[in-house]
Amino acid sequence: MSFKEVKMNQKELKKIYNKWISSIFGMLFFGIIFSFIFYLVYDSHSKPFQIGTLMFLIILGFFLFMGLLNLLGLFFSPNSLIRDLNQKKKIITKLKIENKKLTKKAGSYFISGYVIYFNDNEFLTTYAVSKNTFEKVNIGDEIYLECSKFGKWIIDIQWNSESIENRSYVK
């Protein structure tokens, strides 16, 4: 697969920095909510825990731990934002859509997401898109991608010169 490495401008650097900040605040919000639920369940039991409550707290603790690991990864990853900001390099490439799927929540009849899958590459393998974008793109279409070199933060993603960037997809 061919790609081109070029220098980022200030606007692109600011965009990936803002995405990084959004990720941190999202993980902190996630942690606060789960910690509050953990506290409420733990505080409401003055007697010994029942097995169901204990299992719930263990699962909740697992999610808190995973969120903490993700937050630490945002700060200390070797593919961190700091390397991207220092070296100011981005990758420009084209990806081919290999598949597209509607994802559903387990045991639900409701569609929870629209995902497109790309050919094997080192930059982006799946991408959640809006329903409108999902209906427009076809298997075999090419997607133009610009991402930061180290952190793989998406700067621009286009289909037929039309932006298909999902604002809720932070990285």
Place of tokens 């903490």: 68
- Distance from C-alpha of 158 to C-alpha of 94, rounded to nearest angstrom: 9
pLDDT of residue 117: 94
44: left (phi over 0), alpha (psi -120 to 50) or beta: alpha
Q: What is the model's pTM?
A: 0.73
Give the three-class secondary structure for 156: strand
Q: Give the separation between CA 131 and CA 30, rounded to whole angstroms.
A: 26
* pLDDT score at 150: 87
**Residue 27 CB neighbour total at 10 angstroms:** 19
Which stretches of the chain score pLDDT less than 50?
A: none
- Residue 112: the pLDDT is 72
The residue among 114, 158, 151, 130 whose CA lies nearest residue 23 is 151
Give the model's pLDDT for residue 79.
66
At residue 77's C-alpha, the angle toward residues 169 and 88, to 5°, is 75
At 54 the pLDDT is: 76
Question: pLDDT at position 49, please?
Answer: 65
**pLDDT value at position 147?**
93
Q: CB of 137 within 8 A of CB of 164?
A: yes
